[in-house]
Structure 1
Amino acid sequence: MKTARQLLAEKAIDNILSVTPQASVYQALQVLAEKNIGALLVIEENHLVGIFSERDYARKVILMGKTSAGTSVSEIMTRKLLCVPPSATIDECMTIMSEKRIRHLPVLDGDKVLGVLSIGDLVREIIEEQKFTIAQLEQYIHS
């Protein structure tokens, strides 16, 4: 079973997509749309201070009658983060995400942000592992 570090390495992302707490929600939404992603880390002075997701936008801007241009990310970001170390297995990550009903999981090595795993990343990896296992079993049966 792969670790969070290995899965991040396979994603081959050169930079960690983030915004500052002072950015407007509109600016953050532009990045989400441009990069076709569902969440951004919120980083201030090289420290992870929160995460901004489409869910935050839907629940804390639209439903509360705020405007995306007039609201800062810090007003609506999720501050209470669940993070994993790079040694966490895919199963451990999936368990956390399923139990806590979250879709994005930052990977931290101490205070250093290594990246973010999405539920889609984990599902793709689990499917690949299952395909490999099935192929091995089929080969064993046929030999």
Structure 2
Amino acid sequence: MLDHKGRKIWSIHPDATVFDAVAKMAEKDVGSLLVMEGDKLVGIITERHYARNVVLKGKTSPATPVRDIMERRVVIARPEQTVEQCMALMSDKRVRHLPVFEGKKLVGIVSIGDLVKSIIGDQKFTIDQLVHYIHG
């Protein structure tokens, strides 16, 4: 899936402000950023973190560092996991973004939207094959 989707990773430092994180998410048209200290993944910040931990708690995004609202226990995936396994993991852990690690190396990230697109593409292929078979 990463070969098709791409391996671009958008990240931010934990000392950056939430305002900078939200601005970067908007600029890159993504719903999350990996929080990195150098090459080390230390957390993830999503639009949901912003909504629940800044807006609803009366904080201000220019004054709040990412480290104050990021999720530190990041659920990850491995390249050998199937789309179905990743969806089950996302459902079980209630997350929408999975950083993908090959060994200790971060190689990409997949979202629930990426997985849904993959499943729809597979189903379309199957349907096309069945239609072709039926019409011979």
Please state which band the TM-score falls in when normalised by the shorter chain.
Answer: over 0.9
Q: Does the aligned pair in 2 maintain the 1:47–1:111 contact within 8 Å? A: no
The secondary structure found in structure 2 opposite 1:50 is: strand
Corresponding residue number in structure 1 for 2:51: 58
Q: CA deviation at 1:10?
A: 1.0
Corresponding residue number in structure 2 for 1:26: 19
Q: Which of 3, 10, 15 is 1:9 aligned to? A: 3
For residues 31-67 of structure 1, the C-alpha deviation after alignment (integer angstroms, 9 at most, x for no partner) is: 0010111000001121111000000001111111111
For residues 2-54 of structure 1, the C-alpha deviation after alignment (integer angstroms, 9 at most, x for no partner) is: xxxxx1111234x4210011110011011001011100000112111100000
TM-score by length of structure 1 reads 0.91
What is the aligned-residue RMSD (CA, Å)?
1.0
Q: Which of 63, 68, 87 is 1:70 aligned to? A: 63
CA distance in 2, matches of 1:11, 1:135: 22
CA distance in 1, matches of 2:93, 2:127: 30
1:46 counterpart letter in structure 2: D
List runs of 5+ in structure 1 lacking aligned partners: 1-6
Q: Which of 33, 39, 59 is 1:46 aligned to? A: 39
- Runs ≥4 residues deviating over 4 A: none
Residue 35 (structure 1) aligned with residue 31 (structure 2): no
For residues 87-120 of structure 1, the C-alpha deviation after alignment (integer angstroms, 9 at most, x for no partner) is: 1111111111122221111101122111110111
TM-score by length of structure 2 reads 0.96
Paired-residue identity, %: 51
List runs of 5+ in structure 2 lacking aligned partners: none
CA distance in 2, matches of 1:86, 1:42: 20
CA distance in 1, matches of 2:23, 2:11: 12
CA distance in 2, matches of 1:8, 1:68: 32
